[in-house]
Amino acid sequence: MNVLANTAPASSTPPASPFAVTVLGAQAVGDDGESLKQIQNSSDAEQALLAALDQFKTRIGSYLKPEDQQRVVAAYHFANAAHEGQLRVSGEAYISHPLAVASNLADWHLDPQALIAALLHDVMEDTAITKEQIAENFGKVAAELVDGVSKIDRIENRSFEEAQAENFRKMLLAMTRDVRVILIKLADRLHNMQTLDAMRPEKRRRIANETFDIYAPIANRLGLNSLYRELEELSFRHAYPLRYRVLAKAVKQARGNKREVVGKILESIRTALPKAGIEAEVMGREKHVFGIYCKMREKHLTFSQVLDIYGFRVVVADRNACYQVLGVLHALYQPLPGKFKDYIALPKVNGYQSLHTQLIGPFGTPIEVQIRSAGMNHVAESGVASHWMYKDEQTLTQLQKSTHQWLQSLIELQATSPDNTEFLEHVKFDLFPGEVYVFTPQGKILTLPRGATAVDFAYAVHTDIGNRCISCQINGETVPLRTELRNGDRVEIATASHAHPNPIWLTYVRTGKARAQIRHFMKTRQDDESSTLGERLLTRAISDLGHLPTDIDPIAWTRFLHDTGLRERHDVYAEIGLGLRLAPVVARRLLARDGNLQQDAKAGGSVSIRGTEGVAVKIASCCRPIPGDPIIGLIRKGQGLFVHAHSCPAIGKLHGSKTEWVDVNWDPAVSGQYETYIHVVTREARGVLAKLAAKITEAESNIMNVSMHVDGDAMTSLYFTLHVTGRMHLARIMRGLRGLPEVVRLHRQVETRR
């Protein structure tokens, strides 16, 4: 768990303290200057550790009962003994890291179990201590917390990315059971980031990017604003060290230039508020380097153009006073139009509440002011951790409710995302910054990430609404489902029982839940369709070998499933349908008896294409056959069955393996709409396109696309993409078009014009 761990060589007789090794070594070498320096450094480190321990005892003594303090200190000594002889890469005693993590949690006034788990959070990974031993000494709750933070043992033949994804999944799911797991992990990551200089540059960048992508957004989502900003700042410093140094130097220089202006603004606010009868705490704050960098990048500004590197915060007694302060400030300085945000009436999804306004200060300096109550300030800085240090039931109830909803959404993502990497991707989508507030038809407010669409809204209301949505109305106007939502939109979704998710939705949805549910539906549908196709292919392969499916001994099926590691026949059929296994090979293995196979083959039938298979059966885009065309099938590994026309020019190139080709035909009851292309040459005449379109519509066909090219001799070429049900339907369309006097010639094209 600790990225700076460095285990010292094991010894049969461990020393009394990690510092004894250095002292003994120095004495053995002799009293030269270097040895004395080592002794001095060791002594300084030991003194620093003792001082840190004393500070920790003071912190927990301010809010824990004496008996709880004793249990926490006992956990420290337990961890110290377990990590005996281990050093961090920086050379410090390893125990300094868990002590720092526990100290961070003590600032949030976390309970004894969380502090004990923080002190022991690395013992299961880096020592021989087991979960059972922790439970025996410190209780089951502490043991569960340590287990939730601990990494899963690395499995051979698994990439680093896969292992990391599985560890994140374990940690996030443990967090859904107990939010203290993520608080411990975030405190752990904070100390690692604060001491990251000892690592190699490439490892620093990897850890910094990981913090950017996962840990900082989680801190933000849980309302841990101070921690979120510090993690972002540290990540920026280590991921982009040169940019950070340049900007930090520029901020330091600008600080002196703006000191007089900042002082004048502070003084004017502190004078104006008491005159209005408002007691308030007013403070100035310098914006973080990363925040300034983001503003420069997003708005394409130079550093000199970013004028508001300082912000101001006003903390008052209650909610009403916040709005009174706003009036005083708007009377004192001119507000910037469109730059006011009321997060008190509409809190952020992480529970954050505050009034934000931008004003024009002295010398035209932009001023950004945040106004909030003391309770809101606690929640803004500490988020869910404020549960342990501040008891404002109204504020915390809303925060706990939103946190609970997010944790529940993680459980839903877990159920629909069996792949660890996919699960992590969905979580990252849910951590997308920024929110929009929209209304249901009943007036309920839903908070969605910025850029969310009507489809995201539908899934946020209910999974069934998302799966069955067909259209939507925003503010009473019918709009496409891909329409992005804006603050204040009232959204109404129309559904139909026959509707289902469209794969194209994945290109524009913004919430993890929507992406996970769409993918889950598509995968389930593909599995079912692949299984149906695979069963038909296997039946035909068995028939080719002169047998019926009922001839296969159940023991043969059991043996085959055991050998392949598959659970049931459905899985075998699905793999055949997707081209992961060849039906003739499976048929031979199932029919094999004592190494011999009777091959009194009789003519086998072909696979019928019904037009309703969808995902597992695909019409090849190179030739676009339609019902009535002679066809042949090609199994592509992992993709399913592709249907080509016999005349397809690509068949010669694709004929690499005969066993992958399948005889197919059109089922007499084939259904569906199929794309085909026609080329029409007409004389130039007014309204000719309208006449052609009318004839195509009369023949009950849809025009999917049309393009035209003006030829010489007053001729025009038109290229249509049409939806037809088969060759008979296409022939009817072409007969209708030939009846127009403007049409010179027309023919069907094998592929669309590029």
Res 416: pLDDT: 59
> With 50 as the cut, is the pLDDT of residue 24 above it?
no
Q: From CA 10, how far away is CA 15, in angstroms rounded? A: 11
- Taking domain 5-241, whether its CATH number is 1.10.3210.10 is answered by yes
Q: Which residues contact 471 (CB under 8 A, 6 or more apart)?
A: 478, 481, 493, 494
Res 154: pLDDT: 45
> What's the pLDDT band for 404 if we cut at 50, 70, 90?
low
C-alpha separations of 335 from 104, 320, 330, 358, 364 in Å: 39, 20, 6, 6, 12
What is the CATH architecture assignment of 674-749?
2-Layer Sandwich (3.30)
> What's the pLDDT band for 420 if we cut at 50, 70, 90?
low
CATH 3.30.70.260 region(s) of the chain?
674-749
Please enumerate, as own/partner, the contacts of 321-324 that have beta carbons within 8 Å and a separation of 24 or more: 321/278, 321/280, 321/373, 322/355, 322/371, 322/372, 322/373, 323/355, 324/276, 324/278
DSSP conformational letter for 639: T
Res 418: pLDDT: 59
Report for 135-144, 334-343, 612-621: range of highest mean pLDDT: 135-144
CATH 3.30.460.10 region(s) of the chain?
242-390
Strands 664-666, 640-645: pairing kind: unpaired
Strand-by-strand arrangement of the 661-662 sheet: 617-619, 640-645, 631-636, 661-662
- Taking domain 242-390, whether its CATH number is 3.40.640.10 is answered by no
Q: Which residues contact 193 (CB under 8 A, 6 or more apart)?
A: 207, 208, 211, 230, 231, 234, 235, 238
> What's the pLDDT band for 632 if we cut at 50, 70, 90?
confident
- Please identify every residue annotated as catalytic: 125-126
C-alpha closest to that of 626 among 575, 701, 522: 701
> What phi and psi, each to the nearest 5 degrees, are found at residue 704?
-85, -30
pLDDT in tens, 293-335: 888 887 787 877 776 667 899 999 899 999 999 999 999 999 9
Q: From CA 122, how far away is CA 86, in angstroms rounded? A: 12
C-alpha closest to that of 102 among 74, 132, 130: 74
Res 502: pLDDT: 84
> With 50 as the cut, is the pLDDT of residue 601 above it?
no
Mean pLDDT score of the chain, rounded to an integer? Answer: 79
Is the full-model pTM beyond 0.85?
Answer: no
Of 49-53, 360-364, 470-474, 554-558, minimum mean pLDDT range: 360-364
Q: From CA 84, how far away is CA 121, in angstroms rounded? A: 15
Q: Around Cβ 495, how many Cβ atoms within 10 Å?
A: 15
Strands 661-662, 664-666: pairing kind: unpaired
Question: pLDDT > 90: what percent of the chain?
Answer: 26
Do residues 708 and 737 lie in contact, with contact meaning Cβ atoms separated by under 8 Å? no
Res 138: pLDDT: 93
> What's the pLDDT band for 13 if we cut at 50, 70, 90?
very low
Q: From CA 336, how far away is CA 574, in angstroms rounded? A: 61
Do residues 493 and 540 lie in contact, with contact meaning Cβ atoms separated by under 8 Å? no
> With 50 as the cut, is the pLDDT of residue 21 above it?
no
C-alpha closest to that of 273 among 243, 312, 230, 304: 312
Do residues 673 and 648 lie in contact, with contact meaning Cβ atoms separated by under 8 Å? no
